[in-house]
Amino acid sequence: MHLFRTPHFFRWIFPKRMWGFSCPEKTVYLTFDDGPTTTASEWVLNFLRDENVRATFFCIGENVSKHPELFKRMKSESHAVGNHSYGHEHGMKVSKTDYFASIERADELIQSKLFRPPYGRMPRSYDPSLDKYTIVMWSWMAYDFDDSVPIEKILKSAKSIRNGDILVFHDNQKSFKRLKIILPQVVEMLKEKGFAFEVITSRKDRQLPLTDRT
């Protein structure tokens, strides 16, 4: 089952994680996971530049190490960056020690107070090292990485995007073919509805109350 919108009870279970924003104006938060990669990230950056749109990139430390020029470009073009671990470890499939070591290793390169857990999964036991991060989740998932989800279904779901939503796309090679089709249409749709695009910072707007998400 593919859940484009994050269920409300997730926010109740994990209230310290950021799921969305309360915004006085029509604003959404475009995010990309897994870069930087030479083909996909470069295309995304060019597209965002042409559309005059800013986004937040949750980067894998290993990819930052391989493509430092693209990482620098993300920041120089006024996008925000966040930590997505060093090796994209699944929080339920590696040891707690290895998981948090990966985050800290990535932090040496990325130096951001934003963290998004790969696969949205973290170890069950909390670690104090996370206290310095804002853990950013999402309220709408594009499923650009999943060939089993028809693009038409994704675009139909995009009509449900609301003010303050955090949107997830992927600037990796696996998603690139579908991303090139989905992203321009979603951005065009949102612009036609009058939405602005903002970046995420660790001390930006207050988190959106659950009672507002009806």
Task: Give the max Cα distance, the chain.
Answer: 46
Place of tokens 């903002």: 198
Q: Give dist(CA 89, CA 76) in Å, integer.
A: 28
Token pair listed for 125: 């036991």
Over the chain (214 residues), what is each successive 10-residue block's mean pLDDT?
A: 82 87 91 98 98 98 98 98 97 93 97 96 84 95 98 98 97 98 98 97 55 36
Give the per-residue pLDDT at 214: 31
Q: How far is CA 116 from the centre of its chain?
A: 7
Per-residue model confidence (pLDDT) at position 202: 77
pLDDT on residue 44: 98
What is the CATH class of 13-212? alpha beta
pLDDT the model gives residue 2: 78
Q: Tens digit of pLDDT for each residue in 15-44?
A: 889 999 988 889 999 999 999 999 999 999
Residue 211 confidence (pLDDT) = 36
Cα separation, 45 vs 167, in Å, equals: 16
**169 pairs with which residues across the strands?**
32
| Helix residue ranges, H only, the chain | 8-13, 38-51, 61-66, 68-76, 96-110, 151-158, 176-192
pTM above 0.75, yes or no: yes
The dihedral region occupied by 88, where left means phi > 0, alpha psi between -120 and 50, and beta the remainder, is left
